[in-house]
Structure 1
């Protein structure tokens, strides 16, 4: 049956994720799965989102195919692989609320740290390999459990002050590789059922449209305004994640 509430929430969630995939909304795409949990179980939401994310990744990679920082990817991807394996191993034991709380707290600390003078002195320095491996692992873990790898990725990459398009391209390649790697474990965990894939196919065009619109806007936004928007969005997102997760854990 046609459910207007279901359609409205699902389309909104996927559209936000699509805009985020383009690099326009920073890590706001992390709200995709939490929004979908308003209309379905969290595990089912994660399974439905994965094929949609892969469709959006394809558009983002094509749009930014010549704009990627391979050095950052070489640092972060090995850590991401470890984080995904850990997420697979504890899939049955960790709750989404706990993961979202961790992401929210770490992201809030990141935003507060970004406004301190010491952070301004460190921006632009060559990326540290151990630091990148750590945040790559965190991004891989949270991405596997609930597709919320955006904030950990940004904690390492945003201070590099890459041009907006280069940042967006690096993010697109990173998450395309991470999401592709999640296909096999998601299949064995039963997340890619026929029902989930049917919903994914219906929502994928919405997400792809969001990516295209975001790409158009990213190329027309100055770096100064881009990072101002990104930090404010990450701050608001951190507060939302903390609030939502505590509501679940304390009730």
Structure 2
């Protein structure tokens, strides 16, 4: 893999990656989508394609911590409906990576994220400000919701494979489906643990994960834990409306970063 080893990094570069790893932990247990900043940091310090291979094990470590924290709040009917579509998206993303350059990948995903953020804001504004959340997310109980789940699933699988950017996609889906804060975090925790783990053989086959990248991961994974603990502390102090606003804002920032890089 064409990337810097742990020993090639300057102190400032390692500090930037360590901060990005801490932010991964925070995003997994608090504001999903905030790790789009981590994507940008890793891609700035390391070669863009190689950075996805280094970041993937860091994301999985965060997923494990999130599952341990929110495992009781996962909504499995939604997960089972998403997985087949996500698998298709991962396969499409793998094929896409064989020929697409970084510029095409960034522009495509950035545009998708901004479009979905706009749609989600529009949907939320149409809802009554005081309306109670539905007992069952609409991604499960309606035909339109099931179609939406499949569409977002394919997009989520595609974006998570090509740029580890599936978080904002699924954040927009879970918000639009009416998930409350803990259900959102519990469902996304299991979703990304399973999806990111399934990506390992694809990434290794593409040469994105090797001994050098894993050595760097071993040094960075220590910073995921304090980030996750900070997120767990913060999420209890964030109300539902602010939570949704932060998730949408993080998605917009991530989309703009991809478009403007």
Spell out the pairing of 1:116-135 with structure 2 (5 A cutoff): 116=122, 120-121=126-127, 126-127=138-139, 128-135=145-152
Query: RMSD of the TM alignment (CA)?
Result: 2.1
Aligned CA distance change for structure 1 residues 106 and 43 (closer, same or farther; 3 Å): closer
Give the alignment's TM-score, normalised by structure 1: 0.88
Q: Kindly indicate whether the alpha-carbon contact (under 8 Å) linking 1:30 and 1:149 is maintained by their aligned counterparts in 2.
A: no
Mapped pair 1:9 → 2:44: no
CA distance in 1, matches of 2:50, 2:123: 43
Aligned CA distance change for structure 1 residues 63 and 118 (closer, same or farther; 3 Å): closer
**In the alignment, what sits opposite 1:57?**
63
Aligned CA distance change for structure 1 residues 202 and 110 (closer, same or farther; 3 Å): same
SS in 2 for 1:27: coil
**In the alignment, what sits opposite 2:157?**
140
Aligned CA distance change for structure 1 residues 169 and 117 (closer, same or farther; 3 Å): closer
CA distance in 2, matches of 1:113, 1:191: 33
**In the alignment, what sits opposite 1:248?**
none
CA distance in 2, matches of 1:117, 1:231: 12
- In structure 2, list runs of 5 or more residues that go unmatched: 1-6, 140-144
Mapped pair 1:93 → 2:99: yes
Mapped pair 1:210 → 2:227: yes
Give the alignment's TM-score, normalised by structure 2: 0.85
Q: Kindly indicate whether the alpha-carbon contact (under 8 Å) linking 1:80 and 1:138 is maintained by their aligned counterparts in 2.
A: yes
- In the TM superposition, residue 45 of structure 1 has moved relative to its aligned partner by 0.9
- In the TM superposition, residue 150 of structure 1 has moved relative to its aligned partner by 1.3
**In the alignment, what sits opposite 1:165?**
182
- Cα displacement string for residues 90-149 of structure 1 (whole angstroms, at most 9, x for unaligned residues): 322112332222222222223333343686249856111121111111111111111000
Q: Kindly indicate whether the alpha-carbon contact (under 8 Å) linking 2:123 and 2:176 is maintained by their aligned counterparts in 1.
A: no
Among residues 37, 41, 49, which one is paired with 2:47 in the alignment?
A: 41
SS in 2 for 1:182: helix
Aligned CA distance change for structure 1 residues 187 and 106 (closer, same or farther; 3 Å): closer
Q: Kindly indicate whether the alpha-carbon contact (under 8 Å) linking 2:36 and 2:250 is maintained by their aligned counterparts in 1.
A: no
- Cα displacement string for residues 56-109 of structure 1 (whole angstroms, at most 9, x for unaligned residues): 111110101101111221121111100111122232211233222222222222
**In the alignment, what sits opposite 1:180?**
197
**In the alignment, what sits opposite 1:234?**
251
Q: Kindly indicate whether the alpha-carbon contact (under 8 Å) linking 1:54 and 1:176 is maintained by their aligned counterparts in 2.
A: yes
Mapped pair 1:106 → 2:115: no
Among residues 4, 28, 31, which one is paired with 1:21 in the alignment?
A: 28
**In the alignment, what sits opposite 2:241?**
224
Aligned CA distance change for structure 1 residues 192 and 107 (closer, same or farther; 3 Å): closer
Q: Structure 1 residues 226-235 or 147-156, which shifts more?
A: 226-235
Q: Structure 1 residues 113-122 or 174-183, which shifts more?
A: 113-122
